[in-house]
Chains A and B, each alone.
Chain A
Amino acid sequence: MSNIMKPNRKVGIAGYGAYVPRFRIRAEEIARVWGGADEGFPIEEKAVPGLDEDTVTMSIEAARNALARAEIDAQELRAVWVGSESHPYAVKPSSTMVAEAIGASGSVLAGDWEFACKAGTEALQASIALVGSGMAEYAMAIGMDTAQGRPGDALEYTAGAGGAAFIVAPKENSVADLEASYSYVTDTPDFFRRQHMHYPEHGNRFTGEPAYFAHTLNGARGLLDGMGLKPSDFTFAIFHQPNVKFPSTAAKQLGFTKEQIAVGLLSDKIGNTYSGAAMIGMTAVLDIARARAPKTMWYVARREVIDYALYARYRGKLIMN
């Protein structure tokens, strides 16, 4: 029995949209404040949201870009799901606000997904199921994050901001087919944030081999084996990208070339966008084929470098009262 997941009705992507905020902080600027330059940097620079941006506003822009490409009425959506580890409210869905802003509210499923970096693709797989079962014609899945890293922590170099929205539709209304998916999950206690805590904890104990590599390699192999495909069958491959080294190493171990992963590997320029990371890598790849809303690389290229002082203000790291 294969463990890959294929819907009864064939589905695909009707529209997609990316978003990255315009501010950037360079890795050497973080190192200037906290040290740590001796070991080299995991990425070149990361995206920082402005004072008036959060996961909701960023999701709204990505969702509008997705609707512009799909050319459908937002009222045709039967689901608006937002995956993130940085929902602005602990209790109050981001998804209802996004649905309201894009004109989808009313007869629609809405809910927030939370699963460190997997929430966005989990919502995408649920959207495949919803449309693939015939329960809906259109469903929107968003992966978006404004990830926080504790000042001075290794995560601060990479915890970026950005993500993407996808509209899943029946195959005949799609620009790209979603043939199959696969999910590989375990309880690995490496990254967590308790209620009321501002910054997440990460254990380091599991970060590399038992966490990223075990799950990424098992996920990729499960999909390849289940579909009877090999790396050379693909033009592009996109990996979750907490930095540059991890996805590059995983790709190499699986037999993918640098060229296959280059287009979808954005972490060097925008950081780890957590729930949005693999999804915005995917929009960068899809951009090569189509354009009807701002392309992913336009957002990546739109950048204003800020120093650590402004970064600390924008990310709420200053205690004001």
Chain B
Amino acid sequence: MDLARNWRLKDQRYRLEGTICNKCGAKFFPPRGVCTECKSRDLRAHEFDGHGAVYSFTTLTQAPMGFEAAVPYIVGMIKLDEGPMVEAQITDVNPSAVKIGQRVEMVTRKLREYGEAGLIVYAYKFRPIANGN
């Protein structure tokens, strides 16, 4: 059931927590222990604000094991405003309505279940930005 792996990943999955270099300010997602810009090992946790734009996307109809119940679903590359590119599902939107360049924001959603008795995995996804006022 990969309990340890899912536990280890929860900070980045639940709230998009990566790292930021204390030396040069470069930001990383997923988190890195060594800065690829200045080679520093002095990094701290950084929670991304979750805003970005769709760089590219596709719709999956043949899902890998564990994701079958969700088909068809959209997987996108999201260019975060703070720098990194993140691969994630795009939710709350029909595939025909997704556009490259579309503004999106991070939400925490159910990613998969390990069967009826197993763990429910929650993780970041992105959805068209909610201008909810």
Contacts and interface: CB of A to CB of B under 8 A. Distances in A.
Interface of A: 22, 50-54, 56-57, 60-61, 88-89, 97, 100-103, 291, 293-295, 298-299, 304, 320
Nearest to A54: B110
Given A54-B110, A97-B14, A320-B69, A298 B47 contact: no
Interface stretch (B29-37, B53-61, B125-133): B125-133
B70 A51 contact: yes
A100 B14 contact: yes
Contacts of B70: 51-52
A293 B91 contact: no
A99 B130 CA distance: 22
A102 B15 contact: yes
Contact of A53 (B109, B130, B131, B133): B109
Contacts of B75: none
B10 interface: yes
Return the 5 tightest CB-CB contacts between A and B, nearest first. Answer: A294-B132, A298-B132, A101-B14, A52-B109, A52-B110
B120 A53 contact: no
Interface residues of B, number: 23
Contacts of A103: 15, 47
Nearest to A301: B132
A89 B120 contact: yes
B26 interface: no
A136 B120 CA distance: 31
Contacts of A50: 91-92
A53 B47 contact: no
Contacts of A304: 94
Contacts of B89: 52
Contact of A97 (B109, B122, B130, B131): B122
Nearest to B130: A294
B111 interface: yes
A100 B14 CA distance: 7
Contacts of B14: 60, 97, 100-101
B85 interface: no
Contacts of A56: 110, 120, 122
B108 interface: yes
A112 to B, nearest CB: 14
Given A51-B69, A52-B125, A22 B110 contact: no
A57 B10 contact: no
A57 B110 contact: yes
A206 to B, nearest CB: 33
Contact of B108 (A88, A101, A291, A299): A101
Contacts of B111: 52
Given A57-B122, A101-B14, A299 B107 contact: no
A18 to B, nearest CB: 9
Given A56-B120, A57-B110, 13 more contacts: A22-B92, A51-B70, A51-B110, A52-B125, A56-B110, A57-B107, A57-B122, A88-B120, A97-B14, A102-B15, A291-B133, A294-B133, A299-B132
Contacts of B91: 50, 52
Contact of B10 (A22, A100, A291, A320): A100
B92 A295 contact: no
A22 to B, nearest CB: 6
User: Of residues B111, B122, B133, which shows the largest number of chain A Cβ atoms within 10 Å of its Cβ?
Assistant: B122
A105 B34 CA distance: 26
Contacts of B11: 100
Interface string B45-73: 00100000000000000000000011000
